[in-house]
Structure 1
Amino acid sequence: MKITVNTLHKLAAEGQKITMLTCYDASFASLLDEAGVEILLVGDSLGPVMQGIESTLPVSEDEMAYHIRCVARGAKNALILGDMTFGAYQQSPQQAFAHASRLLQAGAHMVKLEGGAYMAETTRFLVERGVPVCSHIGLTPQFVNAFGGYRVQGKSEADAQRILNDAKALAEAGASLIVMECVPAALARQITETVNAPTIGIGAGVDVSGQVLVLHDMLGVYPGKKARFVKNFMHEAGSIQGAVEAYVKAVKAKTFPSEEHTY
């Protein structure tokens, strides 16, 4: 079954969890698609994961379009979500539309942009012109230098209210999905219960519409210290296909993330 924006909203309305994993090439796209992953995120995480650079910031528009084309060749049913790259959409809605258009022409079905309520105007501009948008709030990796590192967001009452207001503004602007990264589970639950867009968590607890992980993290092949929200599904699976299927099953059964993966 071809996954569309309507499919995602239907799953969320029925209380069925949505699964998302990052993907950067045709081979993995085919494997993840076969395992039933609904959304393949061609993320700017390809910088650290695929290119070995320290952050997502240097990833270029050309590189993102290239990887989207690769994934689009391998996926038959999954919705392909492409990351908007740093510096290619923040200047104006018109700049964002030009960038988003290129990613959709490469094969993406939706684009993801980072930022809070101040991105509502850009979100509305894109949606009104036929570009489905996924908003990304909480810990936004493109803001790593402003945050002073990769830190949990929304811990104080004021920060939690700000993130909630961000979610409301972006949903009202027409965002089809909202990704929440590294926020307390209670806040993620409140946002999910408040907005009319499905929510996808990464380090945001189990009470969201779905989950996302970086593929290389959940397979245990990315070096370095793992974030608290990461689980190595390859550890007991015995194969990559088995690990992906175990991830899908765990998300659908609401056994992942467990308390040990939650802030």
Structure 2
Amino acid sequence: MKRTGKSLRATSSPPNSPEERTMSASSGRKPVTLPRLRDMHRAGEKITMLTCYDSTFARVLDQAGVDCLLVGDSLGMVLQGESSTVPVMLEQMAYHTRCVARGNRTAWLISDLPFGSYQESPEQALRSATALMQAGAQMVKLEGGGWTIATVRCLSERGIPVCAHLGLTPQSVHALGGWRIQGRDERAAATLREHALALADAGAAMLVLELVPSAVAAAITRELSIPVVGIGAGPDCSGQVLVLHDMLGLTPAQPPRFVRDFTQGSSGIEDAVSRYVDAVRTVSFPDPALHCY
């Protein structure tokens, strides 16, 4: 792939130096902060998020205006060739978080707590989250409701912003019986709502809803005071997230219904990412007829 374009140029200052941060601010793109994300949610301004795993793509996504970069444990599948996210290790997440942090300038940086790094106890979660924060993360994400309440409270009370994740939780894919839509019936939807409210009450600052019926996601989004970012959860969430490789058309198999290939009709990768950002902000993606449940 030909590496050209402003976003890929090297600079004379080291990554994340004061000089580069000043340049970013002067170009009109102020650093995205947690208060800024809350303001966007309250104002109905859609939040854009993409997964990111290295410094080069961090620069491209940041330059294209993506609000949040998620160092997802999805790297196990798209980078390592695993069949699920379960084999990913904390050391690997810290490594990729550090890589992304070096290339990022202004986007909000979230990193996944991988399977086995927080299930044991809140104390274990604190140690794991500390490693990711020291690697450059500004927020950590964990999956599940109910039993995670104490962990979310422990982290948030210690100054570690937490993004919760409900619906289809990939780390639990074996227990869920595969990649299935969650919250379809009334009881399951009520459980999702209950967990979402409890997580927000425990201090979660953001929520990802994955593979949830649009009506259920819309109801939860309206009820919560924190941003709700959807993936396969309809257009009424506070924002959207996709796996970077999926939206660039690099999925080797048939992509999930909620995915759109933004390289079609684009002039390159940065243009494709810019098209994604624009589509989310103008609510032309996801299309209820094509990408929702």
**TM-score normalised to structure 1 length:** 0.99
Corresponding residue number in structure 2 for 1:90: 119
Structure 2 gap ranges (5+): 1-29
Aligned partner of 2:59 among 30, 34, 38:
30
Aligned partner of 2:210 among 181, 184, 203:
181
* Partner Cα distance (1:52, 1:238) in 2: 28
Query: Which 4+ residue blocks in structure 1 deviate beyond 4 angstroms?
Result: none
* Partner Cα distance (1:71, 1:177) in 2: 20
CA RMSD, Structure 1 to Structure 2 (Å): 0.5
Corresponding residue number in structure 2 for 1:204: 233
Structure 1 gap ranges (5+): none
Equivalent positions of 1:207-218 (< 5 A) are: 207-218=236-247
For 1:237, the aligned partner's letter is S
* Partner Cα distance (1:118, 1:44) in 2: 20
Tell me the SS of whatever aligns to 1:134: strand
Q: How many residues align?
A: 263
* Partner Cα distance (2:90, 2:146) in 1: 24
Tell me the SS of whatever aligns to 1:220: coil
Superposed displacement of residue 4, structure 1: 1.0
Corresponding residue number in structure 2 for 1:153: 182
* Partner Cα distance (1:235, 1:91) in 2: 44
**Does residue 61 of structure 1 match 2:113?**
no
Report if aligned partners of 1:81, 1:108 keep a CA contact under 8 Å in 2: yes
* Partner Cα distance (1:176, 1:167) in 2: 11
Tell me the SS of whatever aligns to 1:145: helix
Equivalent positions of 1:1-263 (< 5 A) are: 1-259=30-288, 260-263=290-293
Superposed displacement of residue 235, structure 1: 1.2
* Partner Cα distance (1:117, 1:177) in 2: 16
For 2:86, the aligned partner's letter is L
Superposed displacement of residue 238, structure 1: 2.6
Report if aligned partners of 1:117, 1:167 keep a CA contact under 8 Å in 2: no
Larger radius of gyration: 2
* Partner Cα distance (1:187, 1:198) in 2: 15
Deviations 1:51-89 (A, max 9, x none): 111100000011000000000000000011000010110
Superposed displacement of residue 117, structure 1: 2.3
* Partner Cα distance (2:120, 2:89) in 1: 16
For 1:261, the aligned partner's letter is H
Tell me the SS of whatever aligns to 1:207: coil
Corresponding residue number in structure 1 for 2:3: none
Tell me the SS of whatever aligns to 2:174: helix
* Partner Cα distance (2:94, 2:138) in 1: 12
* Partner Cα distance (1:241, 1:193) in 2: 32
Superposed displacement of residue 156, structure 1: 0.7
**TM-score normalised to structure 2 length:** 0.89
Structure (1/2) with the larger helix percentage: 1
Tell me the SS of whatever aligns to 1:51: coil
* Partner Cα distance (2:55, 2:196) in 1: 33
Taking only the aligned residue pairs, the percentage that are identical comes to 54
Deviations 1:141-178 (A, max 9, x none): 00000011000000011000000101000000010100
